[in-house]
A and B are shown apart, each in its own frame.
Chain A
Amino acid sequence: MDYIHYSAEDFIVDDYFRKWVNGQLPQEDTFWPEWVRHHPEKEALISQAKFVLKALEMKHIPITDAKVSDKVRQMLEETDAQLTVERSFWATNWWKLAAAVVLVLGISGYFLNQKLLNPTRYDELVMAQANPTIEKVNNSNQPIKISLSDGSIITLQPKSKLSYPETFAKEARTVFLSGEGFFDIAKNPRKPFLVYANELVTKVLGTSFSIRAFEKDKDVVVKVFTGKVSVLSGKEAVHTASQPFSQTDGVILMPNQMVIYERTPDKLTKTLVENPKMIVPQPIDSNPFNFQNTPVSQTFEVLEKGYGVPILYDEEVLKNCTVTAPLGSESLYEKLDIICKVIRATYEVVDAQIIITSKGCK
């Protein structure tokens, strides 16, 4: 290799040269020291190249060996699970069966006299279970707490029932709900938590949320407090039953969002919960909502971050607006009321987002 005509850049990108600078060549390899000695006129060039190489140090996010081996072990376990699923027809297909029951009942419900047969989807789903299940019924007028083997805690409201297997299956944690419950789910991304509640299937990886699904009510409501869940209606669940773990299926809910499923007509609506809560804990010594001559874009950014709710507005129209308002413990909607008054705007909630309409400020 003829290095005579090399520029500093050429040296830097040369693998052999780089190995030498980084001390990765074996001791007996004396090519570079000798080359430098024979070309004293290149000394400046070489130090320049060395300097640049050493300046290319980057920040790295560390990860421990223990964590890596833990992750690899999880992967190997999961491939084991895949193998069993491939072998066993029933292991793959009981999902379809359970979901099909939802659909069939959904249709027959419209044609048959409900009072006569009173087919509850919950009972059918629970009966379809191959493995032994435990059922908790809350006949009291107080909510009761149920701890599951995975560390999840469920608060079951009066007149509600929850069924769950004695031991969770390898691939997922599945429970069945009739009535209302608040779910605080232990995080386990490799083993999703699924709640079948009448027409809806709610799938989570670790989060807290509530479901209201009474047989007699005309709608089913899922509200999210922390984390991320996805909600599928029974019909979608049939299509996705063979791959029940994809995170992108159904309607995705973020904190402070809820979905309402109307039984007739079969319709899912995503919106915000009645009183959105702050999703990031606030430091005691600072109040981000104390706005003093703050550009409105910055004001909205603080709200978006604090409540995890997207706020949409026309930046161009609002570019001259500033907000002075010592806000703090008001609810999100109260804050928006005040800010909108200041900038002569109105807002509405559409699809779990807030849309601001304004004519702008002078």
Chain B
Amino acid sequence: MPNDTEVAELWLAFKKGDKGAFGSLATVFYKTLYNYGTKLTTDYTLVEDCIQDLFLEMWKRREFLGETEHVRFYLLKALRRKLFLEKKTSDKRLHQFIENTDDIDFIGEFSIESRIIELETTEQHLKKLNQVLTQLSKREREVIYLKFYQELDYEQIASLMAINYQSARNLIYNALKGLKSAWQHDG
């Protein structure tokens, strides 16, 4: 992964019509976008198609795009929006009489199995932890994902999920508080 300055340089070159830079940006961010997209829908082909469309639209509109130092944030937000619009049209088609949801559901799940050894903890402890993890709401899971996997700041998370700064922060702190209690449970 190139650092922020390198990404910003790629972005500038891409805006000037440098196709090599465009290809590099796509390569650098494809996995990131795929990772997020597949946590918003189980239709993985749709995720691929949306990423493809997203980059092609960017190329078409490159001269009109702003200069940004937050390329990752820009791309994640655009993908989320795209997937949401797709969901909305397909919901409408399948359930014309059912009210539209006004947001997309985060379906990513936690999996502590792979880190059980590192956690050095007891059976009962893990049970409690698993319980807390499954009880997290979709929004709590999404803020945690965006904060710890995508390393976005609160302001970006708030903008991406269309909530305010304080809500984003509260969602994270509440979720962490629950997790912390799992650790305290049996001391």
Contacts and interface: CB of A to CB of B under 8 A. Distances in A.
Residue among A8, A58, A72, A248 with the most chain B CB within 10 A? A58
A195 B45 CA distance: 23
Given A9-B177, A312-B97, A72 B30 contact: yes
Interface in A305-330: 310, 312
Interface string B85-127: 0000100011111000000000011111011001101000000
Interface residues on B, range: 35 or more
Interface string A64-88: 0000110110111011001000000
A50 B135 CA distance: 21
A190 B52 contact: yes
A57 interface: yes
Interface stretch (B3-11, B66-74, B141-149, B159-167): B141-149
B110 A58 contact: yes
B116 to A, nearest CB: 10
Interface stretch (A11-19, A211-219, A280-288): A11-19
Interface string B78-89: 000000000001
A63 interface: yes
Nearest to B147: A13
A117 interface: no
Contacts of A59: 108-111
A132 interface: no
Interface in A32-58: 48, 51-58
Contact of B56 (A12, A13, A75, A248): A75
A276 B122 CA distance: 54
Contacts of A105: none
A55 B133 contact: yes
A300 to B, nearest CB: 13
A48 B23 contact: no
Nearest to A8: B180
B158 interface: no
Interface residues on A, range: 35 or more
A61 B111 CA distance: 12
Contact of A74 (B52, B148, B151): B52
A55 B44 contact: no
A51 B179 CA distance: 9
B31 A13 contact: no
A189 interface: yes
Given A55-B112, A310-B94, A79 B59 contact: yes
B56 A79 contact: yes
Nearest to A15: B151
Nearest to B24: A72
Contact of A252 (B39, B93, B97, B173): B93
A362 interface: no
B16 interface: no
A58 B115 CA distance: 10
Contacts of A52: 176, 179-180, 183
Nearest to B169: A13
B119 A54 contact: yes
Contacts of A74: 52
B180 A48 contact: yes
A115 interface: no
Contacts of B114: 57
8 contacts: A8-B176, A52-B180, A53-B148, A56-B144, A58-B109, A72-B30, A78-B52, A189-B49
Given A9-B180, A52-B176, A55-B182, 12 more contacts: A13-B176, A52-B179, A52-B180, A55-B112, A55-B119, A58-B149, A59-B109, A63-B30, A68-B34, A72-B30, A75-B55, A312-B95
10 shortest A-B CB distances, which residue pairs? Answer: A61-B38, A59-B111, A9-B176, A68-B30, A52-B179, A72-B26, A51-B183, A57-B115, A79-B59, A63-B34
